[in-house]
Amino acid sequence: MANMGAPTFIINCATDPKEIESRHKEKNEITEDLGEEDTDALKASAAKAVEDGQRLRAVFQDCMGRIKCIDLDTTCSIDTTKKTVRGHFSAKVILVNHEKRIEVDTGCANLAIKYNLLYVSVY
């Protein structure tokens, strides 16, 4: 880890244990309640994830002032989670320097509408 350098972002994903259980049941196509073995495995996995996160923060303790920590609640739907992640990482302003003979206004305007960006046409 020492050779990697400091990351720019650390994203901590968290959700409700009941949501984890329901997603596990859906993924594995389980209709009845989880057995004790599966429940223990999910709890162990969650505890390991918390431990790994703490260990990761300990490794980068010296430079935590330069690292942006994002706490992401993934209890909501996948679309809402994607929208939240896009909100953190998508460009907010794009400047395009173009000539009048090249038609880019329509394409840039459509991208701005689709991705909720600010598009300013400057010649």
Query: What is the H or E stretch that residue 40 is in?
Result: helix 36-59
Look up the pTM and report it.
0.60
Q: What is the pLDDT of residues 68-115, one digit of tens each?
A: 888 888 888 889 988 888 888 877 777 777 777 778 888 888 888 887
Q: What is the pLDDT of residues 6-52, one digit of tens each?
A: 788 888 888 888 888 888 888 888 888 888 888 888 889 989 988 99
Q: Assess whether pLDDT exceeds 60 at residue 5.
A: yes
Query: What is the H or E stretch that residue 110 is in?
Result: helix 105-114
Burial environment of residue 34 by CB neighbours within 10 A (0 to 12, 13 to 18, 19 or more): middle
pLDDT (0 to 100) of residue 1 = 53
